[in-house]
Amino acid sequence: MTKTISVTATAEKTPGAKSDAATTTPVKLKRGRPPKSATKPVATDADTGATLEPAPKRRRTYTKKAKAAENGTSLGVDEGVFFTSRLSALEADTTQFVPGDEDISMFEEARAAASISEGGVEGGGTTPSTPSALASTVEYQAKKIQLGSYVIDSWYLSPFPDEYSRHNLLYVCEYCLKYMKSEFTFKRHCQRCEQRHPPGDEIYRDDNISVFEVDGRKNKIYCQNLCLIGKMFLDTKTLYYDVEPFLFYILCENDEQGYHFAGYYSKEKRSSMGYNLSCIMILPSKQREGYGKLLIEFSYLLSKKESVPGSPEKPLSDFGLLSYRSYWRRAIYEILLTCDGAVSIDDLAAQTGMTIDDIISTLQTDGMLHRMPGTPGSYAIVANAKKIKEYVSKAQEKSPRRIDPCKLRWAPFLIKAPLSAAPTNRRRSTSTALAISSTLVNVTSDNENDK
């Protein structure tokens, strides 16, 4: 929108010229802008009335620098005087700010001391910024976590983000597993957190023990936090953020306040090697309560539900190998005590959910598997029934809590066709494996040879 404004322009009077009448010229202007003047302002002398010429623009020059440029020479640091129009010669002298040898030595000492205190290399090491670099230093790690009412010391380095790794103690919510670096934030989160159990489906409950199945694709943040906490107590764990191909089974203790995290194990959704467990971890505050063997037994219960024998992912850690050998020995011994006459390796695999390799390895470790003379490919289990009964009774007293299959409410994630023989994880010849699985193994009680 434009507005028409009338502007009166008066011509300048000159000697001997007649004055013209004032003319009115319409000018269209945009709203918000002042009208342009018809004539430029002219400077005049107040006394004589003569017109003054505009002063030429002058550039700011430095006399000493210009003379040096004309002579073809350059100024040194000690010869240069800057801002002479504003500063005195003493104030413009910058030579006093040039660091000397003493200043340089003091700087090097301070930098070396700061590098040592930050865990770097003496002599000016840089501060690491990546998670792998942080894990290589001792200072940059979360040494403790507060989970619920427990303050737990970490065993190994865990690649938390940089802003969290610099803190000695991290606060973790025992329900959603969110980690925080300040106690104030943690208390405020506990007041506002509405989650009282792990995300996913509760597939097992027995008294105060519950197990939840959590999909890594549907609950990515929760599973990533779970892996970061698990790395603090597992040396061989290398996967933290790629959780989508895995299922997580969370063991909790339930009460009137909610479901408290105690441990977990994970497994692949599609395992080409037939693994039923990839990683298992029990919190140090919940160990010595039989939860490790409880989760191992639960993993084999799911394998039997799928009608596919399973095995843990190899290689096993030292604690994992001890736990699994203890469970394998107990599971096999309980079947040998209840069997009538003869049992085959396939029967043991079907009743325990174990693979043929794990069964044979356990029997060979205990010295119970012997080749029958005169019959190639036939084996016999030679064991002392009294020792087996004593071992089973002690194991039941030590770990009385067992998994009840009737309380499982679960359907396989992927429906598989039942296999006649379990997949072998080690490179064993096919003919040998088939010969062992198809041969009846006689269970005898040899009191003379206590095997």
Q: What is the per-residue pLDDT across 51-85, written as a single tens digit (0 to 9) for each?
A: 766 666 555 544 555 555 555 554 444 444 455 56
Dihedral-angle region of residue 177 (phi above 0 means left; psi in -120 to 50 means alpha; beta otherwise): left
- Residue corresponding to tokens 């296999």: 419
Give the model's pLDDT for residue 46. 64
Give 263's contacts (C-beta < 8 A, 6+ positions apart): 250, 251, 280, 281, 282, 283, 286, 291, 292, 295
Q: What is the pLDDT of residue 370?
A: 82
Which pair of structure tokens corresponds to residue 9? Answer: 């322009």
Q: Which residue has the higher pLDDT, 46 or 192?
A: 192
Say whether 404 sits in a helix, a strand or coil. Answer: coil
Which of 389, 383, 379, 395 lies closest to 325 in space, CA to CA? 395
Residue 308, pLDDT > 50, answer yes
> How far is 337 from 386, CA to CA, in rounded Å?
10
Q: Kindly report, residue by residue over 22-32, the tens digit of the pLDDT.
A: 445 555 555 55
Task: Please state the rounded mean pLDDT for residues 244-269.
Answer: 93
Instruction: Answer yes or no: 313 catalytic.
Output: yes
Whether the predicted pLDDT of 205 surpasses 70? yes
On average, the pLDDT of the chain sits at 75
pLDDT score for 111: 84
β-partners of residue 264 are: 250, 281
- Looking at residue 396, its pLDDT comes to 85
Residue-level pLDDT at 35: 57
**From the candidates 108, 244, 313, 448, which is the catalytic residue?**
313
Is 436's pLDDT higher than 90? no
Q: What is the pLDDT of residue 100?
A: 83
The pLDDT score that the predictor gives to residue 188 is 92
Q: Which amino acid is at 436?
A: I
pLDDT in tens, 131-181: 444 344 445 577 899 998 899 999 988 888 888 888 889 999 999 999 999
pLDDT of residue 246: 93
Burial of 152 (0-12, 13-18, 19+ CB in 10 A): middle
From residue 434, give the alpha-carbon distance in Å to each of 205, 338, 421: 39, 25, 8
The band of 11, judged by pLDDT with boundaries at 50, 70 and 90, is: very low
What per-residue confidence (pLDDT) applies to 451? Answer: 39
The letter for the amino acid at 150 is Y
Structure tokens at 137: 């230093």
> Is pLDDT above 90 for 265?
yes
In 3D space, the residue among 430, 432, 403, 428 whose CA is nearest the CA of residue 304 turns out to be 403
- pLDDT given at position 331: 92
Both tokens of residue 354? 């174990």
Cα distance between residue 119 and residue 164, in whole Å: 16
Query: Percent of the chain beyond pLDDT 70?
Result: 67
Q: What's the count of helices (H) and strands (E) in the chain, helices before strands?
A: 12, 17
